Amino acid sequence: MKAKITVTPKKAVLDPQGKTVQTALEHIGFTGIKDVRIGKYIEIELEGTDREAALKSISQASHKILSNPVIEDYSVEIE
């Protein structure tokens, strides 16, 4: 089983890394970019087949150590 977690800065939080990438993309000629946000992507390979339990424990892990819930949102997907 594989858990895919994406952690992104909350909408209200400034993302200077994203702004830098946006500027870089515009500099090399990419147009029509309104906004860039940069986050983390975490892939966790799990033992077992209980999706329900996995989702619960991974959500807990995301909240506790994989993200900072004050400034970041996370989403978990099990496959």
Q: Note the residues at the interface with a second copy (CB under 8 A).
A: 6-8, 18, 21, 24-25, 28, 30, 32-48, 57, 61, 64-66
CB of 66 to a second copy, least distance (A): 7
How many C-beta atoms surround the C-beta of residue 78 within 10 A? 18
| DSSP-derived 3-state class of residue 79 | coil
Closest CA to 79 of 5, 16, 15: 5
Nearer to a second copy, 37 or 55 (CB): 37
CB of 19 to a second copy, least distance (A): 12
Task: Tokens for 52, please give them.
Answer: 């329900």
